[in-house]
């Protein structure tokens, strides 16, 4: 029931913007849709997020980090994602379990089978129907994110870009993460759509919508259809 779509990619790939644009378009078309993010998306998950991104938490053990991401995910799946999918709606999520495999697995070197087991517990086995990978060179993405942070003023409180504990890891870490995403895509090519993040925002948004459209047939629209 429902359609579950996630967005993945390195820092600065513009995932959050594209997830929001897809959300707005689906809403305008009258589809029942929610947009959420990881880590976070619930009251408890946002509290866990603050612990994870805090630059002061340099002593955090990799196991703690993995379990906190998974705990936030467990809450999101049970509080929001599953209930909404069971009503037949569309759930869009900015990052999901693939980020744990890429960041904690390939990035930090955690055992992938162990991550698989933890993820199965956290999600009850729920995986997306479709996952977008927004492809950008790691260094370019980090540059974009830094530039975004510098533009982030109190006048733009909605702007999400923050420089956090996880961004602050070295370039080699971010490169391992991207290599990890490529492996994940190779393993499950049917689920993934890899699109270049080096194109105008509207062009990419149109490509994303074109990939989503075939999945919409079973979703009942809320408003009158034209
Ligand atoms: P965020 O500022 O949301 O980054 P982005 O906008 O690029 O998504 O911070 C989320 C960070 O958490 C990001 O660096 C990726 C990382 N992350 C993991 O390491 N593991 C995970 O399971 C998830 C969901 C995110």
Kindly report the CATH number assigned to the domain that includes residue 162: 3.40.50.300
Q: CA–CA separation, 38 vs 8, rounded Å?
A: 11
Per-residue pLDDT at 157: 44
Instruction: For residue 17, give Cα distances in angstroms to 48, 94, 96.
Output: 23, 10, 16
Tell me the residue range of the domain where 188 lies. 3-215
Per-residue pLDDT at 165: 86
Per-residue pLDDT at 158: 45
Per-residue pLDDT at 161: 61
CA 221–ligand 1 middle distance (angstroms): 32
Phi-psi region of 165 (alpha: psi -120 to 50; beta: other; left: phi over 0): alpha
Position 225 in a domain: no
Position 192 in a domain: yes
Residues facing residue 165 across a β-bridge: none
Q: Pocket of ligand 1, candidates 19, 99, 163: which has the most ligand atoms within 8 Å of its Cβ, to mutate?
A: 99
Q: Pocket of ligand 1, candidates 10, 50, 103, 106: which has the most ligand atoms within 8 Å of its Cβ, to mutate?
A: 103
* pLDDT averaged per 10 residues in sequence order, the chain, 226 residues: 96 95 98 97 98 94 97 98 98 98 97 98 98 96 88 53 79 96 98 97 98 95 69
- Which amino acid residue places its CA nearest to atom 17 of ligand 1? 99
Assess contact for 141 and 171: CB atoms under 8 A: no
Does residue 18 have its Cβ closer than 6 Å to ligand 1? no
Position 226 in a domain: no
The total of structural domains in the chain comes to: 1
CA 66–ligand 1 middle distance (angstroms): 12
Q: Rounded to two decimals, what is the model's pTM?
A: 0.93
């Amino acid at each position: 029931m429902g359609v579950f779509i996630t967005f993945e990619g390195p820092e600065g790939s513009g995932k959050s913007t594209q997830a929001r644009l897809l959300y707005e378009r689906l809403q305008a078309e009258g589809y029942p849709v929610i947009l959420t993010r990881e880590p976070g998306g619930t009251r408890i998950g946002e509290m866990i997020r603050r612990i994870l991104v805090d630059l002061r938490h340099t002593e955090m053990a990799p196991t703690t980090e993995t379990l906190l991401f998974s705990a936030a995910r467990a809450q999101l799946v049970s509080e929001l994602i599953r209930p909404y999918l069971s009503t037949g709606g569309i759930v869009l999520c900015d990052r999901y379990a693939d980020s744990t495999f890429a960041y904690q697995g390939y990035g930090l070197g955690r055992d992938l089978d162990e991550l698989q087991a933890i993820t199965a517990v956290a999600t009850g086995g729920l995986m997306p129907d479709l996952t977008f990978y927004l492809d950008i060179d790691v260094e370019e993405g980090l540059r974009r994110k830094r530039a975004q942070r510098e533009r982030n003023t109190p006048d733009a409180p909605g702007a999400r870009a923050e420089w956090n504990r996880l961004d602050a890891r070295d370039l080699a870490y971010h490169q391992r993460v991207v290599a990890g995403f490529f492996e994940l895509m190779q393993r499950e090519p049917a689920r993934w759509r890899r699109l270049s993040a080096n194109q105008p925002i509207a062009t990419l948004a149109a490509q994303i919508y074109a990939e989503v459209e075939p999945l919409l047939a079973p979703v009942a629209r809320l408003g009158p259809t034209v």
